[in-house]
Every structure is written in structure tokens, then in C-alpha cells.
A and B are shown apart, each in its own frame.
Chain A
Amino acid sequence: MTFYIFNRKGRCQYYHEWQRLKPVRQGAGSQEEDFKLMFGLCWSMRALATAIDPKSPSMKQMGAPMRIGDGCSFNSIKTSSFKLQFLESPSGLKASWRMPGSGGQPCWGAGCFVLTTDPSVGSMVEQLQYIYASLFVELVVKNPLYTPGEPFLFEPFSAALNKYMRALGLLS
């Protein structure tokens, strides 16, 4: 079971694995590659879902840049060996904050929360919402030392996440 937080640009800000039977080296090759593949999967799925959405009033080409909240998103992907649960958060708070030295690029807050679980686990949209609203926003975003968009490792957040996962009964 693994957990990722990606920012809007695809950079992995937070990663934790509780149980990963196949080591990364045998799969993606390296941690960096693993992050790229995971983000690529989520991004492509979202683009695909928006493109084939039968209800959307606006017609978007696949691959066209999407604004936050545009198009439809997917909740989960289930395979024979794992289930990938996905949540896209609303835009980060300091969406237009300019980081010095980065040539005036806007820096985005967290974008995607990804959790892989056993396939038998049900929908975890509400749980991911809780992790976002009550754990991430409270313990990370409100931490004066958090830099939006950057990888982080804050002990209060890690501890609270572990405690929540244990309370949900997902950790054996």
C-alpha cells in the first residue's frame, strides 16, 4: 500500500509506502521513474476521462491544457492486484505565488492524492477528502515552514497519516 502527493506540475511532494511487495527496482527501476509513471498514469486517465465524458457540455481535445476543476476526473482504477484511489484537490492556496529564481513561474499547491490499496477495498473518496482537508491543509499547508509545491517531510503529518490509516484498519 502506497501513498503519493503530487503537485500540479507532476513533482512528487510526499511519498510513503506501508507495503510494497515488488520492490521499485524490479518495477519502474528507480524511485524517480516510479513517480513519473504514477503521475503520468493519473494525468492520462484524467485527460481520457474528460475526452470521452458523455455529459460534458464543452468539447475539449485530448491533451489540451485543462484548468483546475475542468472536465471530469476519475476516482479509482482497479486491477487484479491493486486498486488505485485518486483525488484531485482544489488549487493550492498560493497558486499565483511567484518563487524567486524560477523565472516567474507560478508555483502551484498540491494537486493529486494517490493511494494504492488492496483491490477488495471499497471507494475511499471520503477518506482521501479527509486526508486532504483535515491532515494536509491543517498540518502541512498551515505550517509556516512549508513551501508550496516543494517536497516535504513533516513529522506531525506523517504521524497523523499513519494513525488515520491504522484507524481505518488498512494497516495489518
Chain B
Amino acid sequence: MGKNRECAESCIDYLALALVHHYRTQGQGPSLQAALDAVGERTGRQLAERYARDRPPLLDQLEAVKFVCKEFWGEVFRKAVDNLRTNHRGTFVLRDTQFRWLVRLAQNQMPAQVGQPLPAPLSKADLAADFLVLPCALVRGALAQLGWDVAVTADATSLPQVDFTLVIRQQPQR
């Protein structure tokens, strides 16, 4: 990977981490959930607009989701979604088996002070929760820009695999 590319990608990695740490430690102002939701949605919209620029309009629900799985995911999370399932009634599950933003997540086993007991093991899903707010909002913003109002949730119980569930709420506004 070229040095410029590696530098740019590292910047995104660290920015995503720093955003969560920043909002976690803020005493005042918007909560982490509210702030990262807003940032993610806006950014997702702008990115989708940029990546879909030279394509014909995506009129079909499935086409829009497939665009997110391949082109959008490739640009933002640097690989395509591995598995897409749908019930053909507005619910989609996007499975990324090696979600790049969380692939290095590991709990710190260090006790707070020497001699104190080890910290209780936490489930990876709990540890990852804050770090999934931004990705979910990005996906929501992207689909919103393409005209679909969706609710996005993420399931990280088997990290590094993450399942994103999309529920389409209404028909597109044209």
C-alpha cells in the first residue's frame, strides 16, 4: 500500500477512535449517541452523493442496498460486505466478517492498581457498542441520501464479525 494511502487510512482509523473518546469524556454538550448520530448521518449523505455521482439513479430498494454493500462499504470500510440477506419485505442483514474498524478491539486485562484483581471480562458486544454508533449513522445517512428512510442497528456478539440490520421504514420521497 502506498505511503499516502496508508497515511490517509490510518487518519480515518484514529479519527474514528478519537471521536468516541472525545464524546465519552465530555461533561457537557450532546451525548455520544446524539453527536455521533448527527455526524455520521451528515457524512453518510455526503459520501453517498459523491460515490453515486456518476451512476444512473438507483430506483430499486435492493439496488440501493447493494450499492451500499459494495461501492459504499468498499470506500468507507475498505472492503465489501461479505453476505447480504433479506426477507424481501424491507429488512436486510449485512454481514461483514472482518469489520475493519473493530478488528483490533481487545479488552485491557491490566488491573487498575498493582495487586488489585483483574477487571471482570466484558462481552465484546458491550465494548464495541459506542464504536458502532458512527458506522450505523453513516449507513443510515447514505441510504437517506438515496431516498430510503431506514433504521440501522449493529450486532457485534461475534467480533470481528458485525451484522448490520437495516429496516426500511417508508417509501422513497421523490
A interface, CB within 8 angstroms of B: 31-32, 93-94, 97, 100, 138-139, 142-147, 150-157
Contacts and interface: CB of A to CB of B under 8 A. Distances in A.
A139 B109 contact: no
A145 to B, nearest CB: 6
B8 interface: no
B120 interface: no
Which of B102, B104, B109, B128 has the most C-beta atoms of chain A within 10 angstroms of its own C-beta? B104
Interface stretch (B12-20, B68-76, B145-153): B12-20
A144 B102 contact: yes
Given A31-B114, A139-B104, A153 B127 contact: no
Interface of B: 13-14, 17-18, 20, 25, 102, 104-110, 114, 127-128, 131
A94 B10 CA distance: 13
Contacts of A143: 104-106
Contacts of A152: 108, 110
A80 B131 CA distance: 50
B110 A151 contact: yes
A97 B15 CA distance: 13
B28 to A, nearest CB: 12
